[in-house]
Structure formats: C-alpha cells, structure tokens
Amino acid sequence: MLSLILLALIVGVSLWLVLSPLGAAAPSDPDAPERERLTAERDRLYGELAALTDERRRPDLERRAALTLRALDALPPAPPPANRAGRTRRLALIGVGLAALVTVAGAVTFVPRWQLAALSPREAQTVQNSLALPELRRRAEASRSVADYLAWGRAAFDSALYDEASSAYAAALRLDPRQPEALRRLGIVLLTRPAQGGKALGPEEAEQAFLLVQTAAGLAPNDAESQLFLGFALVRFGEDEAALTALERYRTLNPSGRDADETITDIRARQNESDPGLRVYAANCASCHGANGGGGALGPSLRVSNLSRDGLRQIILQGKGAMPAYPNLGTDDLNALLDVLERWQKEGE
C-alpha cells in the first residue's frame, strides 16, 4: 500500500512538473544537445538489451541504461513550441503514463535485481527465500506433499523464520516420519529455542529434540548437516568427545564448511584445560592424526592401534617412517599422552 501511495505521489509531481510550463511562452532549450545525446544513448542501450544473447552482459547494460535515464531525468523539461502546446500536453501525459509503467516494471524487475546485487550471496538468497515464502506455503498446503513442505520449511529455516520452519517440517514428518532433513532441522530448532528468545525446554522436551537430531544422523550419516547438528546437540548435553567426533566428520564431508570451527575450538580448549594428555596431543599430534585420534590427512587412526604402551613410547620418542620424533617431551607430558592413547585404544573408533 505504501508503495502505491509513493507511486501516486511521483506521478502527480511528474504531471505538475511537465504540464505547468506549457502555459508559458516557449523559451529556447539550452539543454537540447545533451538531451539528444542521452536520448540516443538510451535508445541504443534499449536496442542492445532487446537483442541480447549473452546474459552475462545484462547487468552492465541495465546499469548503464539506468544511469542514462537518471541523467535524462536530471535535465530540465524541454519547452514545447508555442503553437504545439496542446499536442505537447497530450504527449506529456502519454510520457508520464509510460514513465509510470516503467517505474512499476522497474519496481518488480530491475530495482530488486540491483538491490540484491549489493548484498552478499547469502543475504541475497535470504531475501529471495523470504519473498518466496507465501507462495511456497500456499503450494504446500494445497498439495500436501512432502517435497512441497520441505521446500517451504527450507526457505523459512534459511530465512531464520524458525516458527514457520517448524510448522512446515512438522507437517512433512506427519507424512514421512523418517525424513532426515525435517527430523534434524526440527530437532535443532527446538534445542536452540531458548537462545532464540523462546520458552526454555524441560528435560523431557530436550531429550525428545535430541532424539530427532540423533535419528536424522542415523538415517543420513553421510549428510554433512546431520553430523553438524548432531555435534551441536551433543555439546549441549556435555558430550564433548562424541561431539568432536561428529563435528570432525562434518568437516570431512564438507571440507569448505566453517560452521563447526568455533565449536571445535571451544571443545579443544575445554579438553586441554581438564586433561594434560589432550593438551600435549593437541599441540603435537592433532594436525596429523585428527582432533580425536581418528586419523587425519597424514596420520592414521590411533584408536585402532594395537601397539603396547612401550611401543607407543618408542615411536613417539624416536619417530617412525613419516612421523617425526619427539625426544624432548618431558616425562610427565609423555605419560599423560600415553594415557590418552591407551584410553582411545580401548574405546576404539
């Protein structure tokens, strides 16, 4: 409604500016050469846009066309000849009408595109998701299909409209109770509800929400988001070691993902403070063997090793193959590290 009011004001002001000079004597037009140049440039750009075959050029051509239109609008209105005032008035009215149409068309095409171009890809996607939500919701409620409920939930979730996302994912789960995306996203929304300013969860509600995330990870163990949300949920329940395993798995499945970095850093800091062996491991071994000893880009898993304590000690102090030696580890640090390695051997993968 506000947009329509503003548009009406623009049209009214344009009419007044264009028509009010028509009653006066027609002065000379000192801006005629510049007006002709800009008009020719505008027509040329419109012609290129109409015949465009390479869509990569469209943003640049539209930008230049907009600048040309802006320059034309900045010029004073051209004075009509005295003997053609009536015709000029009619032409002015037609021109204002066309300008209004161009304004409306620009409001739904060019302007949103320019606005989105100024945003980051994620911000632009969020805006587009928000604009699409009413139609996605209508489609889902009409079709009542899992795919449409998921599309609605995904757009709402990515737009941080978590109540709406919960409604969509809950509807999807009524149709397919084993849908991994709906399970994990509904579960994580419930678990993080207090952080979003919602009502705090009771123990039973928190357990049920965690079960949703855990079930999704079991159904889709190779989905990066499943492991990410499982790690976040485990941290909430104080299961740092299991959380670290899930978050490292997320990193393996999505090497470019950075969503787990801060949580992994926090977990390692807590572990290093409480366990001297983990502190020694993080400083000397984690870069090759992984944060929790499960293997990394260079080093094998230490959890499946069957070496004795003395065998581990010898390799640490003297090195073996590609592994460097650490002869300067103090006795206390070495024993603490060996305690960790032996504990991991018992735990396994």
DSSP string, 232-288: HHHHHTT-HHHHHHHHHHHHHH-TT--TTHHHHHHHHHHHHHH-HHHHHHHHHTHHH
Per-residue pLDDT tens digits for 178-191 = 999 999 999 999 98
Nearest to 153 by CA among 126, 172, 139: 172
User: pLDDT below 70 — which residues of the chain?
Assistant: 1-28, 79-130, 272-273, 297, 349
pLDDT at 89: 58
In a domain, 215, yes or no: no
pTM as predicted: 0.52
Listed residues 118, 137, 170: the one ending a domain: 118
How many C-alpha atoms does 255 have within 13 Å on its Cβ side? 2
Give the Cα separation of 296 and 299 in Å (integer). 5
Count of domains for the chain: 2
Q: In the predicted model, what is the mean pLDDT of the chain?
A: 80
In a domain, 114, yes or no: yes
Range of the domain at 102: 88-118
Q: Please name the residues in contact with 333: beta carbons below 8 A apart, sequence gap of 6 or more.
A: 276, 280
In a domain, 48, yes or no: no
Q: Please name the residues in contact with 206: beta carbons below 8 A apart, sequence gap of 6 or more.
A: 191, 236, 237
Listed residues 96, 118, 140: the one ending a domain: 118
In a domain, 292, yes or no: yes
In a domain, 213, yes or no: no
Angle subtended at Cα 191 by Cα 189 and Cα 214, rounded to the nearest 5 degrees: 95
In a domain, 264, yes or no: no
In a domain, 323, yes or no: yes
How many C-alpha atoms does 86 have within 13 Å on its Cβ side? 1
pLDDT at 111: 43
Exposed, middle or buried by CB within 10 Å (0-12, 13-18, 19+), for 313? middle
Give the Cα separation of 266 and 240 in Å (integer). 10
Q: How far is CA 189 from CA 12, 58, 122, in A?
A: 49, 40, 20
Listed residues 75, 100, 118: the one ending a domain: 118
How many C-alpha atoms does 107 have within 13 Å on its Cβ side? 10
In a domain, 21, yes or no: no
- The SS3 of residue 296 is coil
**CATH no. for residue 299?**
1.10.760.10
Exposed, middle or buried by CB within 10 Å (0-12, 13-18, 19+), for 15? middle
Dihedral over Cα of 198, 204, 208, 209: its sign: positive
